[in-house]
Structure 1
Amino acid sequence: MRKITIVGAGQAGLQLGIGLLGHGYDVTLVSNRTGDQIREGRVMSSQAMFGTALAHERALGLDFWGDACPPIAGLGVNIADGQGGRALAFDARLDATARSVDQRVKMPIWMGEFARRGGRLVIHEAGVEDLERYAAESDLVVVAAGKGDIAGLFERDAERSPYDAPQRALALAYVTGMTPLPHRTGVSFNVVPGLGEYFTMPSLTTSGPCDIMFFEGVPGGPLDRFDGLTPDEQLATFQELLRTYVPWEAERCADLALTDQNGTLAGRFAPTVRKPVATLPSGARVLGLADVVVLNDPITGQGSNNASKCAAAYLAAVLDHGDRPYDAAFMELAFGRFWDNARSATAWTNAMLGAPPQHVLELFGAASADSRIAARFVNGFDDPRDFFHWFMDPVAAKNYLAEVSA
């Protein structure tokens, strides 16, 4: 039986580990926290997951929430006009319902399921020396911990990483008391041109259904106000910014309360793609997974989706590889299967961080008048590869608008 060690018990590490167990592999998963510590800790992300990623979970029997989690049935886009109103707006239904489950809910249950299915769960803060030991004892070591010293072993890929500094100041809050959207449950995506973005989405947290508020502020701008705030101060700042920049969202937020004092998060990071293979001091090689190798800004909500897709790609690569050694060539091939999808998500996400070009403004304007265009944009969040057929290129956009008009 081939032995695989996975360092990191997040979306990707657990999904890959449970998938491997189902095919008879000997899997050890190393986590720096117990399930109880995760459940009682701070929120980690907004984690809206679209249809393709959720299908990977269902295929492994990992959907334990069903109707308990509020559905994300659609997505609405609003562009602020700088005068307290909207320059344009459109809304469309997703072809497949999306969902957001607080990782404090999901990961402890998945950790228990991993152990129940025969996996070995080790609670330990792994360092480079530990990786050396795991590499000596295992046929393959996969690093799924996106932060800390071991993530730094993976070299930044400068050709695929256009930014070397954070492009947004990030802050989110889990709340109750938000008035639902009028048309359908879903994501509200609000753009304040030149200043940043504001999102909302329904979610399931430790205390039940809730909503997530999420600000992305251009560094140094008026939406960059979240460093060093207490949870209550952060929520008050959110409400102040809503009244100033997106007042139609402020109307939904008159009676908010935090779900808990661990229900806020703030920070910033540079979007980065790293090379998938790291070489340890001994010469042993380890394979990076998900955020370790592709860390995108959350403006397009691709983080947890990329994690799920990466785990699925690596599982397929392992199964196809059979009994051959997990050498550097295998690791590059496994990453390549993921990158075939992730390159589109990464390029689109990086483009959304900049000022929209004229052809994108024209597409958004057309989407506000034509539900077919709105639906295509909204469903691109599930499969960003489609954007390269009509959204990312001005010539393709012109041809698409002509086709729709005809």
Structure 2
Amino acid sequence: MRKILIVGAGQSGLQLALGLQSRGYEVTLMSNRTADEIRSGRVMSTQCMFHTALQHERDLQINFWESQAPKIEGLGVSVAAPDSSRAVDWVGKLDGYAQSVDQRVKMAGWMETFAQRGGQLVIHGAAVSDLDYFSRTYDLVMVSAGKGELVSMFGRDASRSPYDAPQRALAVAYVHGLGPRPEHPEFDAVRCNLVPGVGELFVMPTLTTSGRADILFWEGVPGGPVDVFKGVKDPSEHLSLTLELMEKFLPWEYARATKVELTDANATLAGRYAPTVRNPIGRLPSGGLVLGVADVVVANDPITGQGSNSASKCAASYLSSVTSHGDQPFDEAWMQSTFDRYWETAQHVTKWTNAMLGVPPEHVLNLIGAAGALQPVADRFANGFNDPADFENFFYDPEKTNAYLAEAGAAAGA
């Protein structure tokens, strides 16, 4: 039986651990927190998982909250005009629904399941020196802890990392009491509100520790009017700032948020990081090698909502690479090819996310505007969140965009 160590108990680490465990591998999982500490701790993310990522969980039969979590059937885009009215407002329908489960609920539940199924769970914050020791006793060590000392083992890939500084200041609040969008009260949708030059507000339904809730997530251009959360420690002050900014820039979203309250005392989060692609292989002082997983090696800004989706897709890709390798050594060549296989999908996420962080060119503005009049364009854009590779066909190249819009317009007029 092959012995595998996974360091980090997030979406990718736990999904991979449970997947390998189900295939008969002897898996040890290291987490710096217990399940109870995770469940009662601070919110960690704004996860909205689309169909492909959710299917990976179904395939492993670990979709424990699917019946409870809101079914997100659409993805809407609104663009604020200078007078704070809506210059653009539409919603695309998803081919398969998306869902969001608070990672405090999911990671704690998955961690307990892993232990109940006989997995070895070690509660310990790992340092490089620990991995140096463990690398000699395991056939494979994978690092899926995307923050802290361990990430420094994986060098930045400058050719794939155009930004060396954070492109957005992030601020998250989980709330109860948000009203529906009056124009589409009949189904749940993620709402992407764009305020040119200022930032973005995302609103998404979720399942949290206290049941159904909604996430209010500001992404502010650094140094701009939304970049005001640094140093704010009081959750109620964080929520007040969130709502003040909504009232100022996005009055249509503020109108349904006048009665909201935080879901719990740990329902806020703020921070920033530079989007970075890293080399996938970490070298230990003794010469041992470790493989980086998910956002350890490909960390994108959350503006396109891809973090947990990418983590799920990476775990599924790595699971396939491990299980198809038989009893051959997990050497450097295998590690590189395993990452390269994942990069075939991840590169599309990175390209699209980095494009969305910049000032949109005219043809992209035309595309977003046209989606308001042409429902098939809105639907295709929305479904790109599930399969970002499709953006190659109609998003980046002005000629492809114009040809697609002409075709869509002709079909609508037919």
TMscore range, shorter length: over 0.9
Tell me what 1:249 maps to: 253
Percent sequence identity over matched residues?
59
Q: Give the deviation of 1:394 after TM superposition.
A: 1.1
Choose from 259, 272, 279 the match for 1:275. 279
Distance 1:380 1:16 in 2: 25
Tell me what 1:105 maps to: 105
Tell me what 1:304 maps to: 308
Structure 1: state its 5+ residue gaps. Answer: none
Q: Give the deviation of 1:66 after TM superposition.
A: 2.3
Choose from 184, 194, 218 the match for 1:215. 218
Corresponding residue SS for 1:146:
coil
Look up the equivalent residue of 1:152 and give its one-letter code.
Answer: S
Distance 1:66 1:217 in 2: 31
Structure 2: state its 5+ residue gaps. Answer: none
1:291-331 deviation line (CA, Å, top 9, x unaligned): 10011100000000000000000000011111111001101
1:48-80 deviation line (CA, Å, top 9, x unaligned): 100000000011011111221111111110000
Tell me what 1:48 maps to: 48
Tell me what 1:233 maps to: 237
Distance 1:264 1:244 in 2: 21
Q: Give the deviation of 1:33 after TM superposition.
A: 0.3
Q: RMSD of the TM alignment (CA)?
A: 0.8
Look up the equivalent residue of 1:210 and give its one-letter code.
Answer: A
- Where do 1:31-70 residues align within 5 Å? 31-70=31-70
Look up the equivalent residue of 1:323 and give its one-letter code.
Answer: D
Look up the equivalent residue of 1:153 and give its one-letter code.
Answer: M
Tell me what 2:127 maps to: 127
Distance 1:70 1:400 in 2: 33
1:86-115 deviation line (CA, Å, top 9, x unaligned): 111111111111111001100111011111
1:333-366 deviation line (CA, Å, top 9, x unaligned): 1111111001001110000001000110111111
Distance 1:308 1:277 in 2: 20
Look up the equivalent residue of 1:324 and give its one-letter code.
Answer: Q
Look up the equivalent residue of 2:354 and give its one-letter code.
Answer: N
Corresponding residue SS for 2:216:
strand
Tell me what 1:24 maps to: 24
Q: Does 1:388 align with 2:392?
A: yes
Q: Give the deviation of 1:149 after TM superposition.
A: 0.6
Choose from 342, 346, 350 the match for 2:346. 342
Q: Give the deviation of 1:194 after TM superposition.
A: 0.7
Tell me what 1:179 maps to: 179
Corresponding residue SS for 2:256:
helix
Corresponding residue SS for 1:321:
coil
Corresponding residue SS for 2:67:
helix
Tell me what 2:401 maps to: 397
Q: Give the deviation of 1:208 after TM superposition.
A: 0.8
Look up the equivalent residue of 2:307 and give its one-letter code.
Answer: G
1:122-166 deviation line (CA, Å, top 9, x unaligned): 100100111012110000000000011111110000000000000
Look up the equivalent residue of 1:28 and give its one-letter code.
Answer: T
Tell me what 1:88 maps to: 88
Corresponding residue SS for 2:136:
helix
Q: Give the deviation of 1:117 after TM superposition.
A: 2.0
Look up the equivalent residue of 1:72 and give its one-letter code.
Answer: I
Tell me what 1:118 maps to: 118
Of the structure 1 ranges 62-71 and 354-363, higher mean CA displacement relative to structure 2 is found in 62-71
- Where do 1:307-386 residues align within 5 Å? 307-386=311-390
Tell me what 1:157 maps to: 157
TM-score normalised by the chain length of structure 2: 0.97
1:198-231 deviation line (CA, Å, top 9, x unaligned): 0100001111110000000000000111111111
Tell me what 2:14 maps to: 14
Report the number of matched residues: 406
Corresponding residue SS for 1:129:
helix
Q: Give the deviation of 1:16 after TM superposition.
A: 0.4
Corresponding residue SS for 1:9:
coil
TM-score normalised by the chain length of structure 1: 0.99
Q: Give the deviation of 1:119 after TM superposition.
A: 1.2
Distance 1:103 1:205 in 2: 8
1:11-36 deviation line (CA, Å, top 9, x unaligned): 00010011111111111000000000
Corresponding residue SS for 1:186:
strand
Assess if the C-alpha contact under 8 Å between 2:374 and 2:409 holds in 1.
Answer: no
Look up the equivalent residue of 2:400 and give its one-letter code.
Answer: A
Distance 2:341 2:128 in 1: 27
Distance 2:38 2:348 in 1: 32
Distance 2:61 2:406 in 1: 44
Q: Give the deviation of 1:405 after TM superposition.
A: 2.6
Distance 1:98 1:384 in 2: 15
Distance 2:219 2:113 in 1: 35
Q: Does 1:286 align with 2:290?
A: yes
Look up the equivalent residue of 1:310 and give its one-letter code.
Answer: C
Look up the equivalent residue of 2:290 and give its one-letter code.
Answer: V
Query: Where in structure 1 do 4 or more consecutive aligned residues deviate above 2 Å?
Result: none
Distance 2:192 2:8 in 1: 31
Distance 2:196 2:359 in 1: 8
